[in-house]
Amino acid sequence: MLEVSDLHAFYGKSHVLQGVGFSVGRGEIVSLLGRNGAGRSTTVKAIMGLVTAHGKVRFKGQDILGLQAHEVARRGVGYVPEDRAIFPDLTVRQNLMLGMKGRSESGRWGMKDVFRIFPGLQARADTPGGVLSGGEQQMLTLCRTLMGDPELVMIDEPTEGLAPKTIEQVGALLAEVKRRGISVLLVEQKLTIALDVCERLYVMGHGQIVFQGTAQDLRENEAVRKEWLEV
């Protein structure tokens, strides 16, 4: 589904990504782990066309590196940014409608579908997004992206600052996404959710992939966890 190889990116003279490579299969949840500053967010922004980069990024066999963000989205890639980026003056329903990209509700996700999974959003359907709690805004952002019916979703730090109950909801949504055959690239700092929902994991450090394996591989590798993940 997604193949990244020899990906490099710079911020000024700082060489942020130094030959990053990984893959995400169809219907697979893959996590990109690492401490702050490791290059995880820059990686997904580069894939999405939000950061200038060079190397190779292929989605469904086609090169997408260098395309603009809206062109990448039209190919079937969804992106949930860390800052949530909702429209605070628009209602929950209007935010969700914007995610539909001008199409009718004919994909795997529709308004009724989203409201069934998250009845809390339905109860606040006509409430401006800006007055929602942080957890509700995160749910809204995730669901708005799904309304565009992507084949791959890249999610940047979805559990940052959320209460434990909301983190459980995020995990349940990811499981539902996988059940529907959608691929997920999950950028996370919290090991708990990554180990619970992901088949495979990549750990980044200093702009490079320093470990790859299954969730069980990482559970058994204390040295990697201590050097690259634990504070």
Contacts of 81 (CB under 8 A, 6+ apart): 141, 156
Domain count, the chain: 1
Residue 186 has pLDDT above 80, yes or no: yes
pTM (2 decimals)?
0.91
Q: Are 171 and 178 in contact (CB under 8 A)?
A: no
Domain of 68, CATH number, reads 3.40.50.300
Residue-range definition of the domain harbouring residue 157: 2-228
Contacts of 129 (CB under 8 A, 6+ apart): 86, 87, 88, 89, 90, 91, 92, 95, 137, 140
* Predicted local confidence at residue 219, as pLDDT: 92
* Predicted local confidence at residue 5, as pLDDT: 98
Q: What is the mean pLDDT of residues 100-128?
A: 79
- pLDDT above 90 covers what percent of the chain? 62
